[in-house]
Amino acid sequence: MNPLYIQNIYKDFIRILSAEEPRDKEELYRREVFDKLNSIKYIEDFNWARDVVEGIHLSERESQTAVRWINLNTNEHRDISYKDLVRESNQLINFLRGHGLSKGSRVYIMLPLVPEIFIATYSVVKAGFIGVPAATTLTARDIEYRSKLFPPDAVIADIKSAEVVDEGLKRSGVSARVKIVVGGDRSGWSSYDEIKRENDQTFAEKTSQDDYILAFFTSGTTGLPKIVGHTATTYPIGHLSTAMIINVRPGERHNNLSAPGWAKFAWSTFFPPFTTESLALQGGVYFISFYNIFVGRVFGGQKI
């Protein structure tokens, strides 16, 4: 299957969301989009970062803001354009590849809702790594269990979580090729700032519907957590249905309470907004992905 075929399906989907069509006609158009997807027998080459974010958004609106991160407690904020998102992600990918990572390498991501969470998540998708989201509430015992079962090749964590990671890895006897700390310095860790010295151009890995890009540990309702894997198509393509069900459109706001490390952060906060150019809000700190939209706070209604 030619990647451009799926890219054009995404373009159709965005066009449908952007157009003001009668409800019955819009439903017909949406059904046609999903009929095309369901008719595909096998997807041997699809990389959501390459074909959607860069193939559509970067090529059409590179200077538009892709992520606006705002800390509602301090009013600190950072705007990241599509061009900036891709450039910084490329630098992170090159840094990780320089430490021996390649397609299928496991990258633990233990970050709160900070701008780097989007860079890191985007990077694993583009590079064909396997991202392992880890909630910042995990304990050293949790890291010990996870690292024994699914040893990390790399870890990206904030300064507080780095201490937990070190203790967990020490207990498990597992070591990562490289550990990157965000928001500080720690012995044995590379500072996230070091990636800024890397080349800002790189290639996207060829991935198929059989290649894993995410591995979640379940909450372990019965027994210990189990690994649930998602491929290069299950979330990026599968959650077009999520975008349709929640009916999020370009310019609209999607209030989301999920935190990084949980599956819902990926399938509701990360993939649908980047696909549909919509706005996603998250707790006291939120991110938005948009194209020509009104931006405003939900708290008090004041404009930003």
- Tokens matching residue 22: 């009668």
CB atoms within 10 A of CB 292: 10
| Residue owning tokens 């998708």 | 125
Average pLDDT, the chain: 82
281: pLDDT strictly greater than 60: no
287: pLDDT strictly greater than 80: no
Does the pTM surpass 0.95? The reply is: no
CB-CB contact of 135 with 261 (8 Å): yes
Question: CA-CA distance, 65 to 170, in Å (whole number)?
Answer: 41
Question: CA-CA distance, 56 to 15, in Å (whole number)?
Answer: 12
CB-CB contact of 267 with 235 (8 Å): yes
CB-CB contact of 55 with 236 (8 Å): no
| Share of residues in the chain with pLDDT > 70 (%) | 82
Give the torsion through C-alpha atoms of 162, 273, 150, 146, to 10 deg.
50
pLDDT, tens digit, 9 for 90 and up, residues 162-212: 999 999 999 999 999 999 999 999 999 999 999 999 999 999 999 999 999
**In 23-152, alpha helices (H):** 23-38, 48, 59-61, 82-98, 115-127, 140-149
Higher pLDDT, 236 or 1: 236
CB atoms within 10 A of CB 151: 15
Most confident of 1-10, 90-99, 208-217: 90-99
Task: Please report which confidence band the pLDDT of residue 286 belongs to, taking 50, 70 and 90 as the band edges.
Answer: very low
Q: Say what the pLDDT of residue 296 is.
A: 29
Higher pLDDT, 280 or 79: 79
Q: Say what the pLDDT of residue 205 is.
A: 98
How large is the angle between the packed helices 82-98 and 115-127, nearest 10 degrees? 60
Higher pLDDT, 65 or 95: 95
CB-CB contact of 103 with 205 (8 Å): yes
- Tokens matching residue 155: 């870890």
- Say which residues have a Cβ less than 8 Å from residue 201's Cβ, sequence separation at least 6: 90
CB-CB contact of 287 with 255 (8 Å): no
Q: Say what the pLDDT of residue 264 is.
A: 72
CB-CB contact of 87 with 119 (8 Å): no
CB-CB contact of 156 with 186 (8 Å): no
Q: Say what the pLDDT of residue 172 is.
A: 98
Residue of 105, 59, 116, 48 whose CA lies nearest to 267: 48
pLDDT, tens digit, 9 for 90 and up, residues 149-163: 999 999 999 999 999
How much is the average pLDDT of 236-248?
Answer: 73
Q: Say what the pLDDT of residue 130 is.
A: 98
Task: Please report which confidence band the pLDDT of residue 303 belongs to, taking 50, 70 and 90 as the band edges.
Answer: very low
Question: CA-CA distance, 177 to 157, in Å (whole number)?
Answer: 14
290: pLDDT strictly greater than 80: no
Question: CA-CA distance, 173 to 152, in Å (whole number)?
Answer: 12
